[in-house]
Amino acid sequence: MPVSRRILVVLLLFAFVSVGRGYARDWGAIPFPSLGEGVAVCEGTGNHHLCFGLRCASADRIPEWFTFQTGGDSATGDVKVSVVLDGSRHHNLPMSEKRRQELGEWEFAAQFEWARDSLFVDQLKAGSSIYVLIGNVSGGRLSLQGSTRAIDSILKQCRPVQKSTMPASPADDGQGLNASLLVNPEAESLALSRADMPAPLVAALNEIDAECGSERVDPDDSGFVAEDIDSDGIYDFLLDHQAFCPARRQMICGASHCPYTAVISAQGQWKRFDYILQGYRGFSSEGFLLPCPDGSDAGIWRQGDRLLRKFCDARPEVVATYSAAAPEQSGYPKNMVTLMNGIREVCAAGGSAVSFDGAISRFDFNGDGEDDYLLDTAQMQCREKMQYCAVNACQITLFVSHEGRHVEGGFLSAEPRIDGDRLMIPCPSSAGFSTVTFTEGRFEQTSCQ
């Protein structure tokens, strides 16, 4: 039985770790003194570098995003910088040119805006990589390793940002599902801000805040847990209300029965269930199980294409149904099916069906005798596929077998090529290629030269 993940609600905790001068591929202090005080991630060798980060503007110390590039070609003037998180989620930053030199250095910046960027910050801290595209002319892939502590630290050092315009948590219906809600088999914990959470979960937390008042605390692992109980690739949640304020347990629970809230995603369609219970038996991949006086189980669980709920004194009732995977998806890795289902829902929301004919390549990328896959959204048939594309490149996703599962890697590319154990991504501003390889369970990508 898999271990449930504890939810760590991220409230911009301020800590900082700095890496030394150099280009360590991880987030840390800006390695170029001329760029000012801040944090960044840089990639490159020789005279070619690309940096993306957050810093305090020199005069008023308002935080601002910036990009810095040396060598090659770049856009000029006012540009749109597109940041693609983990190959799927896009965030656009309108940046202005700060510096351009004949020696081949370009710098662009945009003021940090909480209403626009708060969710983006949380996604950066929860993600694994970004692809930065500057004015559709140049760009590259950068790591998000160390971004949590680095970004939190600089937001503390800069002038406080007004949060009154921070958007409320979206009523997430699965069409714009936050990537951090997708099941990660390697995760030991799941860090979410309320902006990441589905609306029913936020509503339940708000009710708990009202119940607990000033005595609200962070619960232990059994009080707030996440598990994919219906195997749809999206975390489900369970809240034990009294665990958030044990000092008020008698007021919240009465003599023996306490309130619990389960928020279940049936393929991204969120369902909330509230219970008053003496206790619960388990919240696992088998379901949310409740002990009945006669020794049987009630609760919520998936059976075939249906999500069932049962009370101790009643028969099971169907509370949600699941669409069967298309025949073309049979035999694919689970995380690949999850991605395909998400694309299918986006296309359906726009009124069109999707076909993956010609969009999926099968090969043995790492020579272990197992099938690996490449999904190229540019080749699929769907009117809404441009949501997965920048101006001259679209999302591609590699699924490479490793130790009994398929590791997923997202990239942005036009006309990708498989060359043995390498993925060749054409550089946007030259005739060269960026190369992606897979070693010891991790993807490595070279920069465009």
**Contact, 263 vs 181, CB < 8 A?**
no
In this structure, what DSSP letter does residue 379 have? Answer: G
55 CB-side CA count, 13 A: 27
**Contact, 229 vs 284, CB < 8 A?**
yes
Distance CA 236, CA 244 (A): 19
Distance CA 142, CA 132 (A): 7
Distance CA 357, CA 233 (A): 23
Q: What is the pLDDT of residue 64?
A: 92
Distance CA 355, CA 377 (A): 10
Q: What is the pLDDT of residue 174?
A: 37
By the 10 Å C-beta count (0-12 exposed, 13-18 middle, 19+ buried), 355 is classed as middle
6 CB-side CA count, 13 A: 9
Q: pTM of the prediction? A: 0.40
Q: What is the pLDDT of residue 19?
A: 28
Distance CA 302, CA 168 (A): 31
Secondary structure element (H or E) that encloses residue 148, with its range: helix 147-157
Secondary structure element (H or E) that encloses residue 196, with its range: none
Positions of the chain with pLDDT lower than 50, given as ranges? 1-3, 6-24, 163-176, 327
Token reading at 296: 């049987």
pLDDT digits (tens, 9 = 90+) for 398-446: 999 998 889 998 888 888 888 888 898 888 777 788 899 998 888 988 8
In this structure, what DSSP letter does residue 365 have? Answer: S
Enumerate residues 6+ apart whose C-beta is below 8 A from 195: 118, 119, 122, 166, 167, 169
Distance CA 17, CA 378 (A): 39
Task: Please give the full DSSP string across 89-130, using - where no structure is assigned.
Answer: EEEEEEEEEEEEETTTEEEEEEE--HHHHHHHHHHHHH-SEE
By the 10 Å C-beta count (0-12 exposed, 13-18 middle, 19+ buried), 312 is classed as middle
How are beta strands 105-111 and 89-101 bridged, if at all? antiparallel
28-157 architecture in CATH? Sandwich (2.60)
Distance CA 103, CA 99 (A): 11
| Amino acid at residue number 24 | A
Closest CA to 97 of 123, 69, 128: 69
Residue ranges of domains in the chain: 28-157, 169-321, 330-445
| Amino acid at residue number 440 | E
Angle of the 147-157 helix axis to the 114-126 helix axis, nearest 10: 150
